[in-house]
Amino acid sequence: MKLVTYQSLTGELAVAEERDGELYALGYQQSMSELAAYNDLPERVDTHKIMKYDGVVVPLLPRKILCVGRNYAEHAAELQNEVPSKPLIFSKYSTSVIGSGEVIRWSTDVTQQVDWEGELAIVIGKAARNIREEDAYHHIFGYTIANDVSARDLQSSESQWSRAKGHDTFCPIGPCIVTRDQISDPHNLRITTEVNGETMQDGHTSDMIFKVPY
């Protein structure tokens, strides 16, 4: 399923299924984060088309955002970086997360070069620790897209990336989360990024250096 979080006309948030541009209620009382923690969706208790609502919002607000830097061979080459032998892990903050279509904000006193990076985002479901690679997919709730917005001038001048990538609004995600059963191979996905209608990035997840189970 393609799931979204929408806001009702009374301001309440609820999860719905998106089908062909229309929203359908599922009758879940849980938030998207609570559903992800279950790892498997409960059975639908009510399905009907939602005729009026106030908009689709950020699908969920994650407690932890872990990112792998330079994980696409082509992107590493574009930046003239060596291909890493181990994953370069960095984090973003929950305050970085906004919904699709929301405004990305920054101060020109801090950065003069804000850049885009379209990414596949993996929504972790069931909590775990020290799991085997072959068991990794059992802990994935679904997938969405993210924009790893970066202050490129700060990133190139500092040894750590928190300031460059952790600004408020620097992690738009969504609008949908696609449940894991709908994507048989997350390494067979095309990712494109447009800026003001111009295609700036056209990549493929098969180019990942460290694959999803890693």
pLDDT in tens, 193-202: 999 999 999 9
Over 80: is that where the pLDDT of 6 sits?
yes
More confident position, 105 or 43: 105
* 123 backbone φψ class: left, alpha, beta (φ>0; ψ -120 to 50): beta
Residues 111-129 pLDDT 10s: 999 999 999 999 999 888 8
Residue 176 sits at the vertex; the CA angle it makes with 175 and 178, to the nearest 5 degrees, is 160
Over 80: is that where the pLDDT of 78 sits?
no
Residue 92: predicted pLDDT: 97
* pLDDT band per the 50, 70, 90 thresholds, residue 159: confident
Q: 179: burial class by Cβ within 10 Å (0-12, 13-18, 19+)?
A: buried
Residue 100: predicted pLDDT: 95
CA neighbours within 13 Å on the CB side: how many for 170? 23
Residue 89: predicted pLDDT: 94
Residue 40: predicted pLDDT: 78
* 33 backbone φψ class: left, alpha, beta (φ>0; ψ -120 to 50): alpha
Contact 35, 209 (CB under 8 A): no
Q: Rounded to the nearest 5°, which phi and psi values hold at 167?
A: -60, 155
* pLDDT band per the 50, 70, 90 thresholds, residue 47: confident
Measured distance CA(203)–CA(66) in Å, rounded: 21
Over 90: is that where the pLDDT of 183 sits?
yes
Per-residue pLDDT, averaged over 156-171, amounts to 94
Mapped onto helix, strand or coil, the DSSP state of residue 31 is coil
More confident position, 160 or 106: 106
Residue 178 sits at the vertex; the CA angle it makes with 132 and 211, to the nearest 5 degrees, is 35
* pLDDT band per the 50, 70, 90 thresholds, residue 79: low
Residue 76: predicted pLDDT: 66
More confident position, 94 or 72: 94
